[in-house]
Each structure stands twice: as C-alpha cells, then as structure tokens.
Amino acid sequence: MNSSFALSSTTFMYGLATVFYIGSFAFKQKMLAKIGFFVLVAGMVFNTAGIGLRWMESYQMGFGRAPFTNMYESLVFFSWTMAALYIFVELKYKEQGFGVFIAPLIFLAIAYASFDSSISARINPLIPALKSNWLIAHVVTCFLGYAGFALAFGCSLIYFIKPRQTANASFFDRLPDWEVIDELTYQMVVFGFLFLTIGIITGAVWANSAWGKYWSWDPKETWSLITWFVYAIFMHLRLMRGWHGKNLALVSIIGFMAVLFTYFGVNFLLSGLHSYG
C-alpha cells in the first residue's frame, strides 16, 4: 500500500461516513449513525496510514520531511485532526447527531485536496525557510486549533437549523439538546483557542529563527491574530457577559470564517512570506 491508495481510501471512507450520518438524521435510524461512526474510524485509520506512508516516501526520495508543508498535505492533516477530535467527542458525549454537521466538514477538506486539479499532490523538497525543527510543532498546534474551531462551527450551525419547539416528533429530534450544543461549542472554542495560541507562539519563534524577527505583519500572521481576537471575544462574551445560544453561535461562525480566510484566502488572494503554503 502506498500513500496515494491510503488517502484515496480515506476520501471514500469519509464520504461514506457522511452519507450514513445524514441518512441516520433523515430516516431516524440510529444504526446508520453507528455504522457511520465505525466507517469514520476506518477512514481515520487510512488517513493515519496515508500520512505515515507519505512521510516515509519523502525519506525514500531523499527529502526527509514531515508531510505538512503544502496545501494538499495540510488539507489531509486537517481532515485527520477533525476526525480524531470528533471521534473523541462522540465517544465522550454519546451524541451521534453532531456527526451530521461534522462528517461533511471532514470529507470536504480531503475531497478538496483529492479532486481540485490546482492542488498538487507531489512530494517536493522543503524550501530553506521551512527547514526547521519548529515545523511540526507549529503546524500540528495550528491545525488542532483549526479542528476545534471547525467542530464549534458545526455545533453552532445547529442553532440556525433546529427549531426551539416542535409540535410532533421530527427530524430535529435526532439532534442533541440545547445545553449539550452550547457546552460543546464552548469547549471546542476553548480547545481551539489554546492550540491556536500555542501555534502563534511557535510560529513567532520559528519566524525569528528563519527571518530574524518574531513578527512581520505578514498577511497570514495578521489574519491569525484577527482570528485569535474573534475567539477571544467569544470567550469574553461567554464568561464575562454570560452570552449563550444563537448570538454566541453567530460569533463562532464568524470566527470560523476568519479561520477559512486565514487558511485559504491568504494563500490565494494575498502574497507574503506564507504564500508557498
């Protein structure tokens, strides 16, 4: 098995898990969600294997680098972090309704990497600026942060879909209770904020070693800081102002839009030191 086969299998598994979760929601069949969970776990196994094999292949090609350094590899790793975090959440909360909103995000990330012809899957050598021991620490912490924010985003969407009251049993009865949604959204934001903070710090240390200064107001640095402030506001509103529910969910959604712009928009629309990403 090579990395291409493993990651193609990952895309299929994540897509199939998404179908099972949505089918469970639409047809009110818990068994479909259970199958979806096991398929998602299988997809994560292939995802892990794909990352590991790609790492080995880079050594065989003489590059000897971690597979986190271009858009294709980062999307593959982003899918892995979301899948790992969601599997933990479902095991902890025993709530399968979240999968309807999270599984599509996991699938879309790796599907975008797999099917967009503009994204190269080739294994290339590192540019000099990326040859640092800080690479893994910076990338891993940032993407764990992004995964937390992605799950918070998925939870927040439920506020704008699930009605407060339903006269009879409906599709929406499959979704978690409001208290669980609110608490999990907050916990995922705290998780994401912690790792984004560590990611920004490790990135600053890395920047100092690579370019001679900790902060250069590069577009990605600037938008990472903007994202950090949005989620800092989220936590302030929750802890200091007592915000809950739809208003706070809207802040979570705005924060994830900032994450997406930091991740994609900066690479495609703005030029800077991170443009090679």
Token duo for residue 205:
């240390």
What is the C-alpha end-to-end distance of the chain, expressed in Å? 27
Q: How far apart are CA 71 and CA 200, in angstroms?
A: 19
Token duo for residue 126:
């590192």
Token duo for residue 178:
């409001």
pLDDT by position in tens, the chain (length 277): 899 999 999 999 999 999 999 999 888 888 999 999 999 999 999 999 999 999 999 988 888 888 988 899 999 999 999 999 999 999 999 888 899 999 999 999 999 999 988 888 888 888 776 777 888 899 999 999 999 999 999 999 999 888 776 555 566 777 888 899 999 999 999 999 999 999 999 999 988 887 778 888 888 889 999 999 999 999 999 999 999 889 999 999 999 999 999 998 877 776 655 554 5
The answer to whether residues 119 and 72 touch, using CB atoms and an 8 Å cutoff, is yes
The answer to whether residues 214 and 134 touch, using CB atoms and an 8 Å cutoff, is no
- Return the half-sphere exposure (C-beta side, CA atoms, 13 A cut-off) of residue 253: 13
Q: Which residues 6+ apart lie within 8 Å of 56 measured at CB? A: none
Instruction: Read off the pLDDT of residues 145-169 as tens digits, 9 standing for 90 and up.
Output: 999 999 999 999 999 888 776 555 5
The answer to whether residues 99 and 35 touch, using CB atoms and an 8 Å cutoff, is no
Sort 85 into a burial class: Cβ within 10 Å, 0-12 / 13-18 / 19+.
Answer: buried
Token duo for residue 246:
């739809």
Token duo for residue 200:
């920004």
Q: Which residues 6+ apart lie within 8 Å of 6 measured at CB? A: 46, 47, 49, 50, 53
Q: How far apart are CA 34 and CA 21, in angstroms?
A: 8
